[in-house]
Structure formats: C-alpha cells, structure tokens
Amino acid sequence: MTGFPLYWARPVPKGLEGLIELALDLRWSWNHTADEFWHRIAPEMWEKTGNPWLILQNSSAKRLEALLADATSRRLLDEYLSDHREHLRGSTWFQRAYGQVKLSVAYFCMEFGLSEALPIYSGGLGILAGDYLKAASDLGVPSVGVGLLYQQGYFRQALDASGRQLEFFPYNDPSQLPVTPVLDSEGEWLKVELAFPGRTLLLRTWEAQVGRTKLYLLDSNDPMNDAADRGITSELYGGGAELRLRQEIVLGIGGWRVLEKMGKQIDVCHLNEGHAAFAVLERARDFMNENGHPFGVAMTATRAGNIFTTHTPVEAGFDRFEPDLMRRYLGSYSSELDIDLDTLLALGRVDPNDTYEPFNMAFLAIRGCSFVNGVSRLHGEVSRRIFQPLFYRIPRWEVPVTSVTNGVHTPSWDSAAADDLWSNACGKGRWLDTMDNLEADVKAIPDKVIWEFRCSSRKHLVEHARERISWQLASLGASIEEISKSKNLLDSNAMTIGFARRFATYKRPTLLLHDQDRLVRILTSSDRPVQLIIAGKAHPNDAGGKTMIKAWSDFVRRYDVRHHAVFIDDYDMALAQHLVEGVDLWINTPRRPWEACGTSGMKTLVNGGLNLSELDGWWAEAYQPELGWALGDGREHGDDPGWDDKEADQLYQILEDEVIPCFYDRDSSGIPVAWVARVRASMAELSPRFSANRMVREYVEGVYIPSADAYWSRAADGAREAAVVNRWLGQMERHWEELRLDKLEIEEEDS
C-alpha cells in the first residue's frame, strides 16, 4: 500500500518529474537547498506561501517547459534531486548505533506542526510533534506519525481597527496541500470503518512524506458519511465534548486500524498527549484477534510497548467524557473487546466502581502504557502529583511518571545566517549525530562574527515586521500615507524583545503592561531604546485571552508607541520562524508550574537569542546566570494577584538594571562584549541540550528499545509471560487487603 504521487498532480513536462518528488517531501520545510529553485518558478507565491506543492499545482505547462529550456534551471534541478536522494540513502545515527535492533514506532498526536503549508496544528503540542518527526527522519529512527487531516484546521487571526481578535476558518483544499491519498493493493483509496451509533463511519487515509518518515492522516469527509460525520475532522479543537470524543475515537481506534490494514508491525506505540489513548484499546483488540487471548492478557502484553507523554500541567486540563456519552459511542466497542462497558469505563476513572465519574483519557493512557513521562523535569514532578490518586498505595516520589524534556528541531528554526554560522563552526552534519563537539566549536567563534550575525538577523526581522504591519494596515483600509509610514516602524539597531504565544490567562501575556508608564520609559529611552514585537492567538471561546490581546493594542494606541511596540496578527509557524531568528531577547511569563515545558524560547537558542523567563518548564532546568535571566523565586504562588505585582516589578527591574545595560555597554569596536559572551555560551551549551536530536535519541535509547524488548518478551511463546503477569496482577488485586506485615526484623551485616 502506498501513496500515489500523481493522484492529484497536474502533468509535468517529461524530464521534470523530479519536481513532484521534491515538492511532496516536506523535507523542504527544514532543508532550504532548493529554495532558490522554487523562487525561480513563482517568486510571489513562494514568498507568500513557502509551499512548493502549491507552486507546482498552479504553474502553467508553459512556465514549467521554460525550465527545460533553461540550462541553469535544469542543472539546479539535477543537483537538488541528487542531493535529496543521496541524503535519504545515506547512513544515519540509528543505523550506525542500533542497526541490528528490531524497532518500529507509531507516534500518535492530535496535531502536527510541520509547516504553515500543512495547517493542521494550533500551537506547542503540534509543533513538538512536527519537530519529533523531522528529527526522527534526520536520525533514521524507524517511525511513522498518525494524525488527522482537518478540513479547516485551526483558525486564522486578524485584528479589527480597535484591536479585537477576529477569527477565520479557510478551507484546506487537499489538492493544494503536500499530501496524497494512500492506495491499497487494489489501487483503491485505503479506508477503514468505525461503528458509530446506528451507522458506520468511513475514514480516508492520506500520507505526508517527511524525509525518511511518513505521517498518516485520517479524514472523515467521505461522501458516504452523514453530513455531521463528514465534519468530524473539520476543525482542530472546535465544537463540544461529543465532537471531541468522535475525533479521539477516529485518532486512536481509526489510526491503529490504518496501521494494521497497511500491514505495519508496530513495536512501540507513542501517545503524544491523552487524545490518542483509545489506541491502547485497539492495539489490545488487535492482539486478541491475532493470538486468541482475552482482553486482560492482551492489555498486559501490549502495555509493555505503549508510551504516554503528557503535556498537561493541571489535572483539569485532561479530556473527560460523561458516562452516557461514552456508552453511546463505545457500548458496542466493548463487546469487540469481549468485556462489559463498565470494565472499559473503569480504565478511565480514579474509582473504578463510581459509575458517575467521567471518563478521563489521561487515566486510560496511564493504565494502558508502561512508560509515562512529563516534558520537563519540573513537569515530571507536577505530573506525579497530578496522578497520585491513581497510585494512592505508594508515596508520591514513587508514582511511575518520569520526564523527557522536550527539544526543538534546530534545522527548522535556524535562519540562513545561523545555518552558515553553525556550518562554518561545526560542519553541515552537526544535527545528524550525537553533537559531541558542538559546544567547543561554537565557543571558538569570535565576538565580531557573532555580533555581526546578530545585527544582520535583527535587521531582517525588522524588515519583515514592517512588511507584516503594512499588510495589516492595508486590510483595515488604512490610507496610503499611513501604510507608507509603517515602512519606518521599529529600529534595526535597537534592542528587540519578542513575546509570542497563545494568549491564555495562566501565561500572563499582559504582565509587561502592569505599569504602563514605566514600560513606556523603558521603550522610549533616548540613548538605550527598546522595542517589542508581540504576537499570539486566543482560543475563539476564550474571552479573557481576547481581552489581553486588545490590551496590547490599546497600550500602543494610548501611548503612541507604535515605533517601539507592534502586535503582528495571525501568529503561525512562518511568523514564529522570523521572530525567533531575529529577537535579541525572548520573554516568557507563565505562572509556575503551569508551563509544562514551553519550547518557544528554545527556538531562539540556535539563532543567538537570549531568554528572560519564569523559572518554569524547560527554563527551570536550563537557567544559569551566564546564559540568560530568570523571573520568579522558583516556587508556586497560584494566581495570587499580589505575586503578579511583585513579578511585574521584578521583570521591569531585570530589564532596566541588567538586560538593557548588558546589551548597550559596548567596547571600542562597538561590540557589547558581555552580551556576546552570553549569546555564545547560550548557543554552545543550550542549543544541543534542548534540541529534538537529543530528545529523540533519549526516547530511543531510554524508552523505545527497552519497551520494544519488553513487549516482545511478553508476546513470545503465545504470550506466555503476559498470561503469567496478568494472572499475578489479578491475584494481587484480589488479595491485596489480606496482606499483613507481621513482624519486622533488622539485621546488620559486616561489610
């Protein structure tokens, strides 16, 4: 079974078939070798969309034929194709280190942020999932992704004249996305079926090529489905509880059935958040059918090969579904598992006997997985506290939840200038292996080189920000004069702070506005000016988040500081790339410990940006005085407004007394030596440590390989070990209350 690239493609002239191969491999989202070539074909479309597949679909035969007549274009295409194929055939870290290991990983997630050209993501969870797949490709880890192909995806944002958020839901035309249908052995579209109340749901399967990895996406928009069911995959994080349950059944049960129908032999099933937890049930059902064992034995066997990564820092953040809703949609499914519905529902409850307790997807994931991890060290501690009720018989520090700190795919987030800087210092293959010598190589880069690189990066960001603001003004009907003036906003030489994220109360995106007069003084200093570039979306139903967005627009207008502070709308991956490439300082102000990890600040590292952040998430383990600045005292204060006041004052003070002087204190050559020293140390020490390269290798070596071994051990010999373990677990559960510690004796032995 395979995706058939020409299914959607317009015919291309003979000799240019390689264009389809290049355009359909999302490796172009982080390998920019062929950017010049796509720019040659359609410069305006390339600048606007960055989507080679869209360019190919919308280029005339005449335009493509002109490429054949141009010797330079033909040569470039041959070079890019050769480079692309050579890379995919090349030796990888996994092959060299674990070439004899049997391993196949399926990575399930509700969203994947690979590129703005495939808008099926909303924020950090999806970006992390996309970075995971890219790093798995670079390292050669045998894995596939499983997700949903949304007809609308997450909303697009605009601001009206008063700064209020507006939401738009453009249609994702599959023919314009870099995906292709998966066809079965008969040449028909690969589909799977799910039993829904009173009907059968059909799911179509799509494929996105991500270098050496593949991402399989399910879509309910089949004409054979009811109108309501066709909309199951319409919108990411939209609708109510019933739509969310349908989506999660499609992802978990439907996703595993796609893998099974394609003949994929999966050793490790990795759930990135609890949305996909139903996959553990379907994997057990699959095992039951193949091996003839009851559900309990099947769960015991497959649990060994299931992994659950939680990103949720508060217990209320997990998806829950009322018992009646679960009965409607999973009543018949429980019979397929050969268990009663109450047994199934007990897997998602703290108290298995409480028939009124809602079904918690995270609890199902924990009970169906052998390895559970948070996404930073601090989040691991928080998660042990959250899940303590499931393990009430053991102390909190023994709750079986550990941590694997997130990392970002550095080749996706470095600028062209950063890529050149790193390549000159460390070589082109620096992110493809163990990164052993990177720190020493980066620390040898001269001050002058680093500072010129940073000044150039800031200048490019300012130019992009001006262009985006002019687009915003034009869309609001601004005068030609006002649009023209926007070309002079911001200053390429001023210290530039970036603040961009989802606007939610716990992230405190208006903490900087606590004392607006003081902030204005900081921004408008005559000799040490500072400028802010702000971006972010609030969920359409989050009135508080929308109010905070408007607060920034009101501030800029009220104090007339548009030359020092701008809010750029429609925050997406494309804008994020520009921001993290150019800002001098990235600020993050969540309430500890509600930022599970927070990877946005990691993306600035490779580009020489520094961090000033709350001691939460990744920064709680990364912070050192010589690498950046810390906000807070490392303790939890909840939503105490008094503490917010103190931290706002601390934030201003750090900027005034430490950050800004460090940036503007220059030597005789005009170089801020102390600032550059921090930049160099941050790049050298933190970029490798908080990269997706490190994260994926940590999963492979510390989680995947042991889990795969455990799964095959339990599944061997007709699942004999799983049957033994399941029987022992049953005995322990039945007789636990009869256990007694009768007599305690302590003996000392001579050493």
- Whether residue 10 is predicted with pLDDT greater than 70 in this model: the reply is no
Residue 37's pLDDT band (cuts 50, 70, 90): confident
Query: Predicted confidence band at 3 (pLDDT cuts at 50, 70, 90)?
Result: very low
pLDDT digits 0-9 by tens, 437-480: 999 999 999 999 999 999 999 999 999 999 999 999 999 998 99
Residue-wise over 622-661: b if at least 16 C-beta within 10 A, else e?
bbeeebbbbbbeeeeeeeeeebbeebbeebbebbbeebbe
Alpha-helical (H) ranges within 175-322 are 227-230, 241-249, 255-261, 278-291, 295-303
Res 717 pLDDT > 80: yes
Q: How far apart are CA 639 and CA 500, in angstroms?
A: 21
For 164, the token pair is 């209020």
pLDDT score of 543: 95
Instruction: Assign 312 to helix, strand or coil.
Output: coil
What is the torsion angle, in degrees rounded to the nearest 10, for the CA atoms of residue 500, residue 506, residue 511 and residue 512?
Answer: -10
- Distance CA(43)–CA(370), nearest Å, equals 50
**Rounded-to-integer distance, Cα 29 and Cα 262, Å:** 27
User: Is the CB of residue 257 less than 8 Å from the CB of residue 146?
Assistant: no
pLDDT tops 70 at residue 184? yes
pLDDT digits 0-9 by tens, 57-106: 888 888 888 887 888 888 888 899 999 999 999 999 999 999 999 999 99
Name the one residue in this structure whose structure tokens are 């995806």.
153
Q: What whole-number distance in Å separates Cα of residue 569 and Cα of residue 536?
A: 7
Residue written as tokens 């270098």?
211
State the pairing for strand pair 359-360/402-403. Answer: unpaired
Range 684-703 average pLDDT: 98
Average pLDDT over residues 637-645: 93
Residue 200 tokens read as 């059968």
Question: What pTM, to 2 d.p., does this model score?
Answer: 0.95
pLDDT tens column, 505-551: 999 999 999 999 999 999 999 999 999 999 999 999 999 999 999 99
CA distance 423 to 433: 14
Q: Categorize the per-residue pLDDT at 735 as very low, low, confident or very high, splitting at 50, 70 and 90.
A: confident
pLDDT-above-90 percentage for the chain? 83
Q: Which residue has the higher pLDDT, 587 or 353?
A: 587
Helices marked H in 292-340 — which ranges?
295-303, 323-336
**What is the spatial distance between Cα 350 and Cα 355, in angstroms, rounded to a whole number?**
11
Residue 751 binned pLDDT confidence (cut-offs 50, 70, 90): low
Give the pLDDT confidence score for residue 721 in this predicted structure.
94
> How far apart are alpha carbons 153 and 316 in whole angstroms?
24
Tens digit of pLDDT for each residue in 483-495?
998 889 999 999 9
* Mean pLDDT (whole number) for 358-370: 97
Predicted local confidence at residue 6, as pLDDT: 47
In angstroms, the CA 622 to CA 616 distance is 10
Is the pLDDT confidence value at 5 over 80? Answer: no
Tokens 């430490």, residue located:
658
Which residue is it, tokens 């494929």? Answer: 207
Q: How confident is the model at residue 315 (pLDDT cuts 50, 70, 90)?
A: confident
Reported as a pLDDT band with limits 50, 70 and 90, residue 34 is confident
Residue-wise pLDDT for 596-622, tens only, equals: 999 999 999 999 999 999 999 999 999
- Residue reference for tokens 């990795």: 270
pLDDT of residue 9: 59
Are 589 and 571 in contact by the 8 Å Cβ rule? The answer is: no
Q: What is the pLDDT of residues 663-686, one digit of tens each?
A: 999 999 999 999 999 999 999 999
Which residue stretches of 52-119 are H helix? 52-57, 61-69, 71-89, 93-98
Rg of the chain over Cα atoms, rounded to whole angstroms, equals 27
Cα 316 from Cα 349, distance rounded (Å): 14
Question: Among the listed ranges 173-177, 281-285, 534-538, 584-588, which one has the minimum average pLDDT value?
Answer: 173-177
Element housing 365 (H / E): helix 361-367
Distances (CA, A) of 448 to 87, 122, 289, 661, 677: 34, 39, 66, 19, 11
The stretch 34-58 carries a mean pLDDT of 90
| Cα–Cα separations (whole angstroms), residue 311 to 151, 278, 397, 537 | 25, 17, 19, 19
- Distance, CA of 392 to CA of 736 (rounded, Å): 13
pLDDT range class, residue 594, cuts 50, 70, 90: very high
Q: Which two tokens stand for residue 712?
A: 């095959």
CA–CA gap between residue 411 and residue 433 (Å, rounded): 13
DSSP-assigned beta bridge partners for residue 568: 535
Burial of 364 (0-12, 13-18, 19+ CB in 10 A): buried
Summary mean pLDDT of the chain: 94
